[in-house]
Amino acid sequence: MVLTGPWSAELADRLVESNFVQWQYGARFLPAESVPLHPVVEEAAGLVPDSGVERHRFFDLATNSRPVLEFWVSQELFVTGVFAQLLSLASSALVNVHQRARFNLVLQGEHGGVKDGVARASHPWLLHKLAHSMGIEPDSVTPAEPTYAFLRDLASAMSSPVAALGALGVGNEQMLVPEYGAVKRAFECAAPEVDHGDFLNANIYEDTEHSALIAHIASELIAHDPSLAQDYLTAARSSVSARMRYYDRLADLFA
């Protein structure tokens, strides 16, 4: 069992180096000035309802087929775990301690507390319990090519700290709210006996708050440096498109 992921000493070294090359006392220790949501952040937020993800044809398939729904759960096992790790990576790039602490509320929501060595409220653990309740055998779980491609697309969109906020906050945290609402309806039709509420409700309820936290941090960064606005919007668009493309390709597997 492999308990650690890939590690880059070069990345760690660059993080340390940047603290000396770009040293600014106030940027690291003083609270950021509170600002309203930046117009670009508001524009990016509109990408989610415009996508219509909750009406994607994949969810029609899942609503009428338990095997399709089980396949979605098996692939989400990969997506949810990697997403939590990418959040941690994004957190490390936030220089300001107060912004980082606020962002870490998102990480805390994803991971929950720990009791007797188990993160019982973490989203990955809740998903594990859901998979177990559906009878999905761990040895049967393998990543489909669309899943791997989606996660690579998501990582590619995180080209800078502010881009990471756009990719993770809009194309994932915000998008999961209508998306998981559609999954919830699929469970009610295709597998009503499965206790799916813990995992799906945790995401639906928490991710609304998570996306708002990320949006406000992004607005502060853009207000400080307006040149970052395009990076944020581009990453948000790329991640929304990647998520829609992911569902297109999943649906094609069952066409």
From first to last of the 255 residues of the chain, give the pLDDT tens digit.
776 777 778 878 887 887 777 788 988 999 998 899 999 999 999 999 999 999 999 999 999 999 999 999 999 999 999 999 999 999 999 999 999 999 999 999 999 889 999 999 999 999 999 999 999 999 999 999 999 999 999 999 999 999 999 999 999 999 999 999 999 999 999 999 999 989 999 989 888 899 999 999 999 999 999 999 999 999 999 999 999 999 999 999 998
Which H/E stretch holds residue 245? helix 229-253
pLDDT at site 10: 82
Q: Which residues contact 150 (CB under 8 A, 6 or more apart)?
A: 79, 242, 243, 245, 246
Say how far apart CA 26 and CA 32 lie, in whole Å: 9
Place of tokens 């490390």: 92
Dig out the tokens for 45 from the structure: 């937020």
pLDDT at site 255: 81
pLDDT at site 158: 94
pLDDT at site 21: 74
pLDDT at site 12: 83
Which H/E stretch holds residue 136? none
Residue 61's closest CA among 239, 182, 200? 182
Dig out the tokens for 119 from the structure: 């993160």
Say how far apart CA 129 and CA 131 lie, in whole Å: 5
Instruction: Please give the model's pTM, rounded to 2 decimal places.
Output: 0.93
Place of tokens 């499965």: 194
pLDDT at site 14: 81
Q: Fill in the DSSP letter of residue 34.
A: P
Q: Which region, left, alpha or beta, applies to residue 116 given φ > 0 means left and ψ of -120 to 50 means alpha? A: left
pLDDT at site 187: 97
Say how far apart CA 176 and CA 19 lie, in whole Å: 34
Say how far apart CA 232 and CA 39 lie, in whole Å: 11
Which H/E stretch holds residue 194? none
